Structure 1
Amino acid sequence: MHQNIVKNWVKHLDFTILDILCLEVAFLTSYFIRNGFPRGGFDEQYQNMVWAIIFVGLLAVFFLNSYEDIICRGYVIELKQTLFHCAFVSVGLIVWMFIFKESSSYSRMVVLSMYPVSVCYMIVVRLAWKRVLRIRIRGRKEKRKVMIISTSARIEDTIDGLLQPYRDYQLIACALYDTTDQIGKAIKYVPVVAGKDSIIKYIQNNVIDEVFIDLPGQEKEAERLMGIFVSMGLVTHVNLAKFTARVENKRIQRFANFMVLSSSMKFATPRQLFFKRMLDIIGALVGLVVTGVAFLVFAPIIKKQSPGPVFFSQERGGRNGRRFQIYKFRTMYPDAEERKKELMAQNKMSGFMFKMDNDPRIFPIGHFLRKSSIDELPQFWNVLKGDMSLVGTRPPTVDEYEQYEVRHRKRLAMRPGLTGMWQVSGRSDIVDFEEVVALDAKYITEWTLSLDLKIIWKTVLIVLGQKGAV
């Protein structure tokens, strides 16, 4: 799933708020210089000026496009933009005073001195906040991992165009579509990892979030690749050329120095992703309290029936193949993984998942923990950490993931979840892995916050009724 590109005024809401605060403080400073501190409060007309500054400040943001490339631009350009922005506000306030016939009610000294004061405040605050954001971007551990597909003649220019300062993505690999001679080498510090015939194999075995395709003159081939990668759950960008209407769910947007045609299984706005994460955090905190209570009750029973650790941890495949440790209350004997190979003949699932009736590896209390889904409670810690979400797709084991075919990878396009569409669709009755993949793909393409809430509610009803458990 891809976070949709938003307009500058929404994307840089932080700068909008800071600029308006600077304008308000500049107005108060100018007023104090001229009139001193008002003991009886501001006159009514000056109180109205506070609201006028907010209104005119927002107009400046809409009409001037003041925040385009604000993180990357230098001091001189920033000063120029600040001068224009504050001049627009000052002129706007003068026009406002004449429209409402309030010009005689205000001191010219206050209005005129507000311009240089606001410039000084705004440039200092903008530069300071930009420095904070740049430090955050540089220190961000989790960046989108981008693979480039281009030709030997284009690859250096493509990399140069993508190597933007303070980017929130990482160029981790490139594939040359016209040669295999450079595999194993690096071009501008980006390793060449594949040729035309080995691109998909590389993506299958490595963590890739997005693919950037730059194949000028090969629009049909680029379109074919886009269809393959989107079906794998990857966000795909194509350097703009002529494309037919067969490419679905597409956006034209800017990616570094390029105008691209982007496609993904699902586009989400920052607001949607923010509320999904807030839902995860709140749900995880509540869930961890319940987990603590369950630990006090069941930990002694687990230790008595099967000596060993109370918790079970296992490496799983997360979003786009990222590995993480999942946590559960242990329900099986310590040698369960070794015995799994002996029991594969009794696997009732068709595909890359394992499930059997009356699994002999489960000790007595483990059956109750599984039937009631209490064994899943420690995964709230994974949700709080950000490895998982409350609602998503089931995280596969590493051996399952390594057997995936191209069409199966799409189910990893989102963070895995504690529950999901598969779980609330009768998980005990579904024995075909292809049906699981179809349900996961349906969830990703149709995802909304209301769908998450609906699945959570259905999950609660299922757990309380102890239906559909593994």
Structure 2
Amino acid sequence: MIRWRKRIRRMSYLITDLICLILSFMITQHIYKPIFDRRITLSSLEQTGLILLLTVVFISVFIATSLYEIIMEEDSVFSIRVLSRVVISYVIAVLIMSAIMFLMKISLSRLFFGLLVIDYFITALIGKHMVKEFQCSDLNGTSHCKNILVIGQSLKGKAYIEQIKKYGYLNLNIIGYVHIKEPNNYMGIQHLGGIEDLEEITKLYVIDEIAVAKPLTYDERLADIINRCQEMGITITMILETNNYDTTKAQVAMVGNIPVLKFHTVSLNENQILGKRIIDVYGAMFGMVFFIIAYIVIGPLIKLETPGPVIFKQKRVGKNGRVFEILKFRSMGVNAETQKEALLVSNEMSGYMFKMTNDPRITNTGKFIRKTSIDELPQFWNVLKGDMSLVGTRPPTIDEVKQYEAHHHRRISITPGITGNWQVSGRSDIEDFEQVVSLDTDYISNWTIWTDIKILLKTVFVVFAGKGSK
């Protein structure tokens, strides 16, 4: 219920952004020629395509950065938290658009683009403010609220009530609670009676929905509550008192007409996965430029030093066990894998990963491209294909996964990345595999778009500081 209402609110902001973008484009067009005495060189068809491109980029970034969620949580769009998120979201979107226009050679005046962004920033902010004010004022009258009666008391029930109080603009109103065993103070909510009084209570109060907060046991009393609610035509919500696993998240879904409850440990929802994928594609397209340049420069050096292909291919394990072929610039001799077994005694990692200082298999060119992380550039192609992400956990080899214990498999519950938490946390100094697992699972449990941005920025620092793989 709360999720459905949040989607409606989120959609209203999204539509507002779309309208404001079109409006901003029209306004910028009208002020550009008279003030600066210049014309837009794009045809009507090209302008339409540009608006569509701007819409996709900006809206995708807003979704990926959870901008709409932040706006819904705050009382005002002019709060510091919202404004800072808006500014950063616009910066990201502008950088992506600039890269796309450069790669696609879109002949748009930088002055016009700058004016459009400023105009859109102001117009969209005012638009969101108007939507926010509408949601938080007129619709909060009691006649428009959905009245909820809570049955029973539980820890999850308290959390449910706290969520409703937090998202007050969702037009949900707790009118009171009914006890199942014994009445007591329940978060300051009015006590209306016992379960035996349910029918009488529904006659005295306007009740749109009943939320049952009790342990996950389907006994006769619970069945009776459900039947009585169905008879009266009242919607019923079950608040499940499940185990409190810190890394577990629950999701209700429908398989045909069968309701199911899913428990998962990945913090990304469908919208965030889509937003992350869009950023991956744009980032990989930009990264492919550097890959091509590096191939032209580094390729001949690799071939001159040792015979064999420029690109090294290796089977790696991706999301949930999917096997794919990872690409790298070759930094070792062609028979490096056959020599690995003899070097296992020199492995510096405790666990299932292999790391060795002064690995004799690495060529002189290989040392340079590893130190500068140039060897990773071909993986932008893996990102474009969808096998990898820009940021994620490092994909293990098939042999490593065969040795995994149960909790290690969580590392491969998401799409692997070119860079990640481990790579920017001193990977050359980490010698305990369990520490690597801890860093990866922490990333999985606490993912946000800001986490990815921070890791990408840290990666740039690590590369320029020469702290790449040894």
- Could you tell me the TM-score, scaled by structure 2's length? 0.49
Q: Hey, which of these two has a bigger chunk of helix by percent?
A: 2
- Could you tell me the TM-score, scaled by structure 1's length? 0.49
